[in-house]
Amino acid sequence: MILKAKGRGKGKVRVTFALASTPAEAILVAGDFNGWEAGTPLKRQKDGSWKAALELPAGARYQFRYLIDGARWENDPAADASGRSSG
């Protein structure tokens, strides 16, 4: 799931990337907003969920995925658009 709120800077939006409780040692979010590089680490919350917040330019659309334990890529099922074809 992603949550959006007004960012601190002009023309920015604060995007919180969140995953429900997932068994993992580390989860990163990577996308075209960071050149698909190593990614931003999500922090495990007390309830077992994972979260990370980034300030991104408002009005833009980004592709992103989660990298779990450095070995498995996963899409966010609650993303605005999954990019999956239906046929």
Domain that holds residue 20: 2-74
Instruction: Examine residue 87 and state whether it is found in any structural domain, yes or no.
Output: no
pLDDT at 83 over 60: no
Instruction: Report the pLDDT value the prediction gives residue 22, as an integer from 0 to 100.
Output: 84
CATH at 27: 2.60.40.10
> pTM (2 decimals)?
0.80
Instruction: Examine residue 79 and state whether it is found in any structural domain, yes or no.
Output: no
Are the C-beta atoms of 68 and 24 separated by less than 8 Å?
yes
Express each pLDDT in 14-68 by its tens digit: 999 999 988 999 999 999 998 998 789 999 999 999 999 999 988 888 899 999 9
The number of beta carbons lying within 10 Å of the beta carbon of residue 52 is 18
Are the C-beta atoms of 45 and 17 separated by less than 8 Å?
no
Averaged pLDDT for residues 2-13:
71
pLDDT at 85 over 50: no
Look at the chain and report how many structural domains it folds into. 1
